[in-house]
Amino acid sequence: MSTVPTYTWKDYRSGLAPVWCPGCGDFSVVAAIYRALAELRIAPHQLAVISGIGCSSRLPGYTTAYGFNAIHGRAIPLATGLKAARPDTEVLVVGGDGDGFSIGGGHFPHAARRNVDMTYIVMDNCIYGLTKGQTSPTTPLGEKTATSRYGWPEQPANPLNLALAYGVSFVAQGFAGDMRTLKSLFVEAMRWKGFAFVEVHSPCVTYRGREQFDVVRERARPVPEDHDPTDRTAAFALADHPEFMYMGVLYKKPQDTYEERLDALRSSAKDASHCGHESFLDQFRTS
C-alpha cells in the first residue's frame, strides 16, 4: 500500500539564511509558504519557485524547491513557459510590486487571460526595497521617498482592481502581520486550478518604517462572511473600499486553464492531421 509522504515546514527551508533586514515582512511570507506547502504535502522536487529581481525575489533561494531568479519583471513569462512544458510541476511565482506592476506590469494581464495554472504571490511594500527606496506603482500619494523628497504626486495603482479587471480567476489579499491567515490563503491559492493571485502587504521596515505594520493592521478587516466570491462587482467594491483593506478571498470563479486548452488543441491537432495542418500543430505536441 502506498502512502503519501508527509512534510514539515522545515523540509522546505533551504540552508541559506535570508539576508532580509530584521523585521522585514517577507520573513512571514516565506514562513507561511513553507507551512502551506507542508499542509498541501507538495514534495519539494515537484515545485518550482520563480521570481524576478528584488528583495522579495530572493525568496526562491530560501526554499528547497527548484527555483529560478529571472531578470527583473520577467518571472511570469518564464513561469508560463515552464508550466506549459511541465504541467506536472507546481509553479509558484513570487516577487515585489516593482517587479510585478512596474517593469513586469505588461505580463500580468496575459497570465490572467490565459489562466495559467500557477500561483502568483506579490509581496507589496509600496517601494523598491532592493535598490534603496525609490517609488513604485503602489507608493501612496504624498509619500516622501528617496525619489520623492517633497512628496509623491501620483495616485497608487490598486493591484486587486487590476487583477479583477484583467479577469484573474482567483484574487486574494493578505498581510505579513497575520501569518495564519496568509498560510490559509496560500493553501487555497495553490489548490486553485488556474491563475491565482495573492496580494500580500509585506512592509519594508527599512525604507517605509516599522509603523507600516500598524498602518495595515488598523485598516485590515476579514472579508465579510456574506460576501459572494463569485460576484466580481462585489469583489471590486471590497477591493476599492476607501477605508478598509479586506483580507481573504475576494474573488474566485473557475475557468478552463491554459493547460486544459493546450490539451484540447493537442487532441484536435490529432484529428486535424489529415487536412494539412500537421507541421503547424506539431509545436503543441509533447510526444
By the rule CB under 6 A, 133 interacts with ligand TPP: no
Q: Which listed residue (204, 235, 239, 245) binds ligand SF4 by CB under 6 A?
A: 204
**Nearest approach, Cβ of residue 201 and ligand TPP (Å):** 12
> Within positions 127 to 166, which residues make up the interface with ligand SF4, using CB under 6 A?
129
**Residue placing its CB nearer to ligand TPP in the complex, 73 or 229:** 73
**Nearest approach, Cβ of residue 216 and ligand SF4 (Å):** 14
Q: Which listed residue (31, 38, 55, 121) binds ligand SF4 by CB under 6 A?
A: 55
DSSP 12: G
d(CA 32, CA 167) in angstroms, rounded, equals 26
DSSP result, 215-226: HHHHHEEEPPTT
The candidate with the shortest Cα–Cα distance to 52, out of 2, 123, 150, 126, is 123
The candidate with the shortest Cα–Cα distance to 31, out of 198, 176, 200, is 176
Strands 196-201, 220-222: pairing is unpaired
By the rule CB under 6 A, 55 interacts with ligand TPP: yes
> Within positions 23 to 42, which residues make up the interface with ligand SF4, using CB under 6 A?
24, 26
The helix (run of H) or strand (run of E) holding residue 181 is: helix 179-191
Q: Which triple of cell numbers denotes residue 38?
A: 507542508
Could you tell which of ligand TPP, ligand SF4, none binds residue 53, using a CB distance below 5 to 8 A set by kind?
A: ligand TPP
By the rule CB under 6 A, 90 interacts with ligand TPP: no
By the rule CB under 6 A, 122 interacts with ligand TPP: no
**Residue placing its CB nearer to ligand SF4 in the complex, 91 or 130:** 130
By the rule CB under 6 A, 129 interacts with ligand TPP: yes
# binding residues, ligand TPP (CB under 6 A) = 21
> Within positions 59 to 78, which residues make up the interface with ligand TPP, using CB under 6 A?
71-72
Return the exposure string of 95-130: e unless at least 16 CB atoms fall within 10 Å of the residue's CB, then b.
Answer: bbbbbbbbbbbebbeebbebbbbbbbbbbbbbbbbb
Contact 13, 27 (CB under 8 A): no
**Coil, helix or strand at residue 145:** strand
For ligand TPP, the binding residues (CB under 6 A) are: 53-56, 71-72, 95-99, 103, 123, 125, 127-131, 136, 204
For ligand SF4, the binding residues (CB under 6 A) are: 20-21, 24, 26, 55, 125, 129, 204-207
